Amino acid sequence: MAATTSARLPVTVVTGFLGAGKSTLLRRLLLDSGLRLAVLVNEFGEVGIDGDLIRSCGFCPEEELDGRVVELANGCLCCTVQDEFLPTMQMLLQRADQLDGIVVETSGLALPLPLVQAFGWPEIRTRTRVSGVVTVVDGEALAAGSVVGDRSALEAQRQADPSLDHLSDIEDLFRDQLDAADLVLLSRADRLSADQLQALTAQLQHQARPGVAVLPMQRGAVPAALLFGLERSEGVPPSPDDHHHHDHHDHHDHQDDGHQHHDHSHVAMRSAVVQLQGMIERDHLQAVLLEQIQTQGLLRLKGRAWLAGKPHPLQIQAVGPRLDCWFEAAAPASQRREQPGLELVALGLQVDGDALQQALTSVLTDRSTSSLAGPPG
């Protein structure tokens, strides 16, 4: 049985220029997350290379590879949505009951927004949800003053598809990647000094939308919960203890290409779980959640709310400023509850659980009981 509590299959879109670290991130996600993921790859000039790298990493049995790794070789994904993307998604959705999620790895030359909008098409919108758009930025290149590590390779990639007729300026493409991002990952963080990392983080946060976090990444090591927000069970949201130790690899004593790995590139996640009972008004709840994302810099929210008069709980998912709330056509028996209320888990670098609980308690129109599970952030 799939690990999701939702009938809508979560999709994470990963974008970034050639060499930014997308494939490294994806390989780590496939190998370490324990999730059954399908991968859709669209990389100009690299079709076959990225696919082979993913296929060879051993994330699934060989007999499943053809149904788990799909490469789109016929042009820019954002320009061939109807001809290429939709048939591919329909094919993957035929195996939805065997998957926990889908990752779309798209070239930085492909505009992310049209791809995200394609998930609103009637054929797939009731069966998928965009879990988040993740933009991978080459931190080492950016520290040297360039948004891409190898401009000549990027230009060769561009020339590999003569049908590309949208944004031609690399800096414009980079701004488009940041505009679409719900989370920005700064790769090769172990090759940056603490001062460089701080300066680049501030620069990218200024360029991205309000509420979008910028996190350091080395060798693709990022908590899977940030990218998908999935757990391996259908019970209540995970306890804070589930998220204290996200990187199970010791980087302190390793060296890579002569570069020492620094502690400042480790992502130390904090979490808090809030459980409330009482009447909840949906619009007020969503407004408070967005406000908490902004003020606390929350990276991800996951939960559900039971509203009066509704047979099924309101599903809640957020990554950065992307907040998605919806009712399933049918919910598992484990999610059924007689009394209205809320269960929510929040992840972030610094989570003030008391402030989150207080803000959410203000949403209750008929305050009953509330509790904060675990340490307050």
**Residue 216's pLDDT band (boundaries 50, 70, 90)?**
very high
Residue 229's region, left for phi above 0, alpha for psi from -120 to 50, else beta, is left
Q: What is the dihedral of CA 169, 170, 171, 173, to 10 degrees?
A: 90
Looking at every residue in the chain, the average pLDDT score rounds to 75
Q: What is the DSSP string of 6-70?
A: SSSEEEEEEE--TTSSHHHHHHHHHHHS---EEEEEE-TTTTTHHHHHHHTT-SS-GGGHHHHEE
| Residue 46 pLDDT > 80 | no
Residue 281 neighbours by CB under 8 Å, 6+ apart: 363, 365
| Residue 350 pLDDT > 60 | yes
Which stretch of 185-194, 263-272, 365-374 has the lowest confidence by average pLDDT? 365-374
| Residue 61 pLDDT > 80 | no
Residue 174 neighbours by CB under 8 Å, 6+ apart: 17, 108, 147, 148
* Mean pLDDT in residue range 59-76: 56
Share of the chain above pLDDT 70, in %: 66
CA distance 46 to 57: 17
CA distance 130 to 133: 8
CB of 134 within 8 A of CB of 13?
yes
| Residue 2 pLDDT > 50 | no
SS3 118: helix
pTM: 0.75
Residue 87 neighbours by CB under 8 Å, 6+ apart: none
Specify the pLDDT at position 284: 95
Specify the pLDDT at position 366: 66
Instruction: Return the higher-pLDDT residue of 365 and 280.
Output: 280
Which amino acid would we find at residue 187?
S
CB of 15 within 8 A of CB of 22?
yes
Tens digit of each residue's pLDDT (9 = 90 or more) over 227-273: 776 543 333 344 333 333 333 333 333 333 334 444 444 567 788 99
CA distance 43 to 35: 23
